[in-house]
Amino acid sequence: METIAAKKDIRTCSLPELEEAFRELGEPSYRAKQAYSWLWQKAARSFEDMTNLSKPLRLMLEERFVIRGIQLDKTQVSSDGTIKSRFRLHDWHLIESVLIPVPEEQRYTVCVSCQVGCSLTCKFCATGRMKRVRNLDPGEIFDQVVLVSQQSVETFGHPITNVVYMGMGEPLLAYSNVMESIERLTSPSGLNMSPKRITISTAGIAKMIVKLADDGCKTNLALSLHAADDAKRNEIMPINEQNNLEVLMDALDYFYKTTKNRISYEYIAFEKFNDSLADAANLTRLCRRFPVRVNIIEYNPIDDAPFSKSEEDRMNAFALF
């Protein structure tokens, strides 16, 4: 008997591969285009949804393929209005996405995961304590956007407007799947989102930032900076030991000159670690080489964290420097 595991996930097929599979089933290529549109434009979750395909064809597809969608497992609403969703993958691993609503600006951002776990062991991050299990498939990243957008419509009457790759995992270490998911989100044969509404957020892998630029990346880029000198950054982000700030600044400068896409720094303020005026002065120095926007973020402490969130007056003084 054929098992689900033996069937191919139809969403791993490119359009030419799907056309070839349809030819083998004796179906014309426009039928493959219709199925492709169901998968990526209409985000169909089952073959049964593909109502302009005949019933026998839908059954044939079901015998041959699966759609490995993600399933909502749990949601948690925070007092600041963000909604955290936990999703179960086909192999029972769990990942998280977060909906961040800013209704007054009509901005509804989904923060998506791209890996199960993460290999980068940043000291302030809960995911950094889990070992990396695998990269998410492009379809699993795509599903987070679709399902959280539905959640946003149900809760706020508005679909998501922005996507940021800042959930579990390092996007530049899941490179091809992340790029493929962006293609599905931005392509006219997918969700047709503007790439300007998408941000890849990296802990900082210089050679991959250069690759992004060389590959003609159209999205924005954020660097999780969190410390503006190498000694402090090494302490909290081991990736900095092979990708120090000078190397990263060179890579970001190249990215900016090549793409002209927006760059931002994410900077979590940790109490008495990186929130002094001297730290602010270091950060200012890192803002001189190319245009960059700085987002100062309040820390949400994890269990047994060696850090706490910066006090409001320290954070304000830092931000106003």
| H or E element in which residue 83 lies | strand 83-88
Report, in Å, the least distance between residue 135 CB and ligand SF4.
Answer: 13
Report, in Å, the least distance between residue 204 CB and ligand SF4.
Answer: 9
Q: Quick one: which segment of 60-68, 120-128, 191-199, 301-309 binds ligand SF4 (CB under 6 A)?
A: 120-128
85, 97, 109, 127: which one binds ligand SF4 (CB under 6 A): 127
Is 204 a binding residue for ligand SF4 by CB under 6 A? The answer is no
Judged by CB under 6 A, the chain residues 229 through 288 that form the site for ligand SF4 are none
Q: Which is nearer to ligand SF4, 144 or 161 (CB)?
A: 144
128, 138, 139, 190: which one binds ligand SF4 (CB under 6 A): 128
Rounded CA-CA distance 220/164 in Å is: 9
58 within 8 A of 128, measured Cβ to Cβ: no
Is 164 a binding residue for ligand SF4 by CB under 6 A? The answer is no
Q: Which is nearer to ligand SF4, 18 or 239 (CB)?
A: 239
Closest CA to 230 of 304, 285, 310: 285
Q: Which two tokens stand for residue 121?
A: 């062991």
Nearby residues of 122 by Cβ (< 8 Å), 6 or more positions away: 128, 203, 224, 226, 236, 237, 238, 239
Residue count of the chain, please give it: 321
120, 160, 191, 223: which one binds ligand SF4 (CB under 6 A): 120
Rounded CA-CA distance 308/231 in Å is: 19
Exposed, middle or buried: residue 31 (CB in 10 Å: 0-12, 13-18, 19+)?
buried
87 within 8 A of 96, measured Cβ to Cβ: yes
**By rule CB under 6 A, what count of residues binds ligand SF4?**
12
Query: How far is Cα of residue 231 from the mean position of the Cα atoms in its chain?
Result: 28
Rounded CA-CA distance 244/253 in Å is: 14
137, 170, 266, 275: which one binds ligand SF4 (CB under 6 A): 170
Is 97 a binding residue for ligand SF4 by CB under 6 A? The answer is no
Residue 74, strand partner residues? 86
21, 125, 209, 268: which one binds ligand SF4 (CB under 6 A): 125
Q: Which is nearer to ligand SF4, 119 or 276 (CB)?
A: 119
Q: Quick one: which segment of 63-71, 102-110, 168-176, 307-315 binds ligand SF4 (CB under 6 A)?
A: 168-176
Distances (CA, A) of 218 to 30, 116, 260: 30, 25, 9
Rounded CA-CA distance 319/39 in Å is: 45
Q: Quick one: which segment of 25-33, 80-88, 122-130, 307-315 binds ligand SF4 (CB under 6 A)?
A: 122-130
Q: Which two tokens stand for residue 171?
A: 């996007």
203, 269, 280, 286: which one binds ligand SF4 (CB under 6 A): 203
Q: Quick one: which segment of 115-123, 150-158, 181-189, 311-319 binds ligand SF4 (CB under 6 A)?
A: 115-123
Report, in Å, the least distance between residue 171 CB and ligand SF4.
Answer: 9
Binding site for ligand SF4 (CB under 6 A): 118, 120-122, 125, 127-128, 168-170, 203, 224
